Chain A
């Protein structure tokens, strides 16, 4: 039994598919990439460029295929699939990493209870009708009562009871509830600045304070109820009637200075108009009799003209 010849033949075949290079070729199977880090051979490059390039590529591809064929494979319909290892060479991303979304209320509950998500199909088997019906959508089961032409009603039912409207109302309620929960989830996810109850409380206190100061005497002479907090406010300070001339001069000059400055509070000369000398604001006010430009538009805004936007309200 001369095995050596068989072994030699096998070795020769193996030689066929191995590639020998000075520096071994670096293979990143994850990217299907092979990098040949040997310096380019000048002679073969100058001799015949295309042949040199093709030989280089062939060697590189051979090494890459050897690596790929040695990977663990799994069976599939189209043949063996090689399981690629994770990538070594890293490329920059196109978009920033997705921010992890906080779990919704249901997701937290499900995680705690160990409930896994069950994917439901659009069609459901209806035993009565012995056919597949849609759960929602066209001819969906959820609209069955609304859409059927006959609904049985109890003997003692109210004569005004409309089962179709009742079913529709229920469905709309379910939708509204879902929307509300969804919005609450979004608000929680976006991380509202203040926590729910305390922000509401701050809002209420603010509106109470405003209301208290909205009386004719700006809240000064109103009786304070039990439990109301003391209002903080600026105490008006009045200068004495007689002042030195120097002080008066200083304050007068200061006032003139602030009028000249760019501070927003003082309205200076009328704004420069680009074209013509029409004061658009004044013109609109005159034409709309104080009600504003919106009332001049006509149509749907007519109904709102009593709550006019003009300065003098709707009383003209």
Chain B
């Protein structure tokens, strides 16, 4: 849809090359789009989130007719129309291509869903997954009369609740929020520059969730290790558009938005106090916006697209030496940091080994032995 631009100047060519896929990617540029009705709360939230996300954020000034979830409901009703993707999804893809952005926050207020925000993530120019939340209890950054952190600093992230590891909807939310708040991918960081923390915690787990055994919602191949390697794999297999789920006794309880605990997002600036030891004691001063969110609809990623999105580049030699990658047999890094390998040679029969002849090492001949014995006897007599 976007016309392919052929660069005519060196500068435009550089700009185009900057958009090419890279092995280590830049942070996601987020576009903040307002729907037809937003309201004070959503506007304020957008301003604050953009301040946290600067400079990798773009805000659209005008209001747009956009309903990211509409293809889900429309496709069931319009069977005759051959439209594969809804126009909202098409708009998102166009904006992503034009602005070279890969994440959206769409704000909309309706009577049924007041103060709604939808986080949308893109992969390869197409929509990967979406999460809709509703904002309750918002306190603006301007209302906290405290010093703020420098824009563009990489935040520390803190997630509190065991549900972030067990419940698929919260696993999905965790992944989305990390992607949102993450800054650049860096290999080293200045310890003095750790200025702010963004803390995301949940309300206490209601007992209904525990009874319904949230584990039953996850596929059987789930394990704690695999979570980190591919956290969304558990999410992709289930789908959470709450309206379209078949009502089964246990799952409908768990899926009903009302029973899911609320999400609290807080941002603090860190104050490092000197303790006696090397690690300083940290005190937190509330800085940024205070948001309380409630989960609404969500669209899980398509498993094929997810597989492509989670592909990693091949490990380089330096990383294997560091110890990553599949465990190579007979190779290890010893305490000195050197790479050591073992060479396996078969069993060697050293007796058969033919070396050089040295007179002193030769075995005594039988004749010689007797002579020594006699001498020993003489020696004894001498000592007396």
Complex interface: chain B residues within 8 A of A87 (CB): 185
Q: Is B182 an interface residue (CB 8 A)?
A: yes
**Stretch in contact with the other chain, from B44-52, B118-126, B243-251:** B118-126
* CB closest chain-A residue, reference B193: A78
Complex interface: chain B residues within 8 A of A76 (CB): 190
Q: Is B324 an interface residue (CB 8 A)?
A: yes
Partner of B21, one of A16, A79, A96: A96
* CB closest chain-A residue, reference B284: A58
Partner of A61, one of B161, B190, B197: B197
Q: In the complex, which of the residues B279, B283, B309 has the most CB atoms of chain A within 10 Å of its own CB atom?
A: B279
- Chain B min CB distance to A28 (Å): 8
Q: Is B364 an interface residue (CB 8 A)?
A: no
Complex interface: chain A residues within 8 A of B185 (CB): 87
Complex interface: chain B residues within 8 A of A50 (CB): 286, 290
Q: In the complex, which of the residues A14, A16, A38 has the most CB atoms of chain B within 10 Å of its own CB atom?
A: A16
* CB closest chain-B residue, reference A70: B279
Partner of B306, one of A36, A54, A57, A92: A92
Complex interface: chain A residues within 8 A of B313 (CB): 97
B188 touches A17 (CB 8 A): no
B124 touches A42 (CB 8 A): no
Q: In the complex, which of the residues A14, A32, A66, A96 has the most CB atoms of chain B within 10 Å of its own CB atom?
A: A32
* A1-22 with Cβ < 8 A to chain B: 9-10, 13-14, 16-17
Complex interface: chain A residues within 8 A of B128 (CB): 92
Q: Is B3 an interface residue (CB 8 A)?
A: no
* Residue tally, chain A, CB below 8 Å to B: 60
Q: Is B158 an interface residue (CB 8 A)?
A: yes
Q: Is A209 an interface residue (CB 8 A)?
A: no
A92 touches B301 (CB 8 A): yes
- Chain B min CB distance to A73 (Å): 7
Complex interface: chain B residues within 8 A of A66 (CB): 279
Q: Is B2 an interface residue (CB 8 A)?
A: no
B165 touches A61 (CB 8 A): no
Q: How many angstroms from the CA of A219 to the CA of B222 in the assembled complex?
A: 73
- Chain B min CB distance to A71 (Å): 9
Q: How many angstroms from the CA of A78 to the CA of B270 in the assembled complex?
A: 19
A94 touches B188 (CB 8 A): no
A60 touches B158 (CB 8 A): yes
Scan B22-66; emit 1 where CB is below 8 A from any A CB, else 0: 110100100000000000000000000000000000000000000
A10 touches B156 (CB 8 A): no
- Chain B min CB distance to A294 (Å): 25
B201 touches A79 (CB 8 A): no
A95 touches B21 (CB 8 A): yes
Q: Is A110 an interface residue (CB 8 A)?
A: no
- Chain A min CB distance to B215 (Å): 14
- Chain B min CB distance to A64 (Å): 6
**Stretch in contact with the other chain, from B109-117, B226-234, B339-347:** B226-234
Q: In the complex, which of the residues B175, B301, B309, B324 has the most CB atoms of chain A within 10 Å of its own CB atom?
A: B309
Q: Is B191 an interface residue (CB 8 A)?
A: yes
- Chain B min CB distance to A9 (Å): 7
Q: Is B13 an interface residue (CB 8 A)?
A: no
Complex interface: chain A residues within 8 A of B290 (CB): 50
Q: Is A74 an interface residue (CB 8 A)?
A: yes
Q: How many angstroms from the CA of A9 to the CA of B164 in the assembled complex?
A: 38
Scan B283-312; emit 1 where CB is below 8 A from any A CB, else 0: 110100010000000000100001011111
Q: In the complex, which of the residues A39, A70, A84, A93 has the most CB atoms of chain B within 10 Å of its own CB atom?
A: A93
Q: Is B68 an interface residue (CB 8 A)?
A: no
B284 touches A36 (CB 8 A): no
Complex interface: chain B residues within 8 A of A84 (CB): 186-189
- Chain B min CB distance to A253 (Å): 37
Given contacts A16-B275, A57-B284, A95-B21, contact A36 B228 (CB under 8 A): no
B312 touches A41 (CB 8 A): no
* CB closest chain-B residue, reference A35: B159
A61 touches B284 (CB 8 A): yes
B192 touches A79 (CB 8 A): yes
Q: Is B203 an interface residue (CB 8 A)?
A: yes
Partner of B160, one of A56, A79, A90: A56
Q: Is A136 an interface residue (CB 8 A)?
A: no
Q: Is B70 an interface residue (CB 8 A)?
A: no
B157 touches A33 (CB 8 A): yes
Complex interface: chain B residues within 8 A of A64 (CB): 156, 158
Q: In the complex, which of the residues A50, A73, A92 has the most CB atoms of chain B within 10 Å of its own CB atom?
A: A92
B282 touches A62 (CB 8 A): yes
Complex interface: chain B residues within 8 A of A95 (CB): 21-22, 25, 102, 123-124
- Chain A min CB distance to B56 (Å): 11
- Chain B min CB distance to A39 (Å): 5
B25 touches A94 (CB 8 A): yes
- Chain A min CB distance to B139 (Å): 10
Q: Is A186 an interface residue (CB 8 A)?
A: no
* CB closest chain-B residue, reference A39: B162
* CB closest chain-B residue, reference A44: B204
Complex interface: chain B residues within 8 A of A286 (CB): none
- Chain B min CB distance to A85 (Å): 9
Partner of B279, one of A17, A28, A92: A17
Apart from A65-B279, A90-B231, 10 more pairs, CB < 8 Å: A10-B276, A13-B275, A31-B182, A45-B204, A54-B286, A56-B201, A61-B282, A70-B279, A80-B192, A83-B187
Tell me the A residues contacting B by CB distance below 8 Å: 9-10, 13-14, 16-17, 23, 28, 31-42, 45, 49-50, 53-54, 56-58, 60-62, 64-66, 68-70, 73-74, 76, 78-84, 86-98
10 example contacts (A-B, Cβ-Cβ < 8 A) are as follows: A16-B275, A37-B164, A41-B204, A57-B199, A70-B279, A84-B187, A84-B189, A86-B319, A92-B179, A94-B122
Lowest 10 CB-CB distances: which A-B pairs, in order? A13-B276, A92-B309, A57-B199, A95-B21, A94-B102, A60-B158, A36-B160, A40-B204, A42-B204, A33-B157
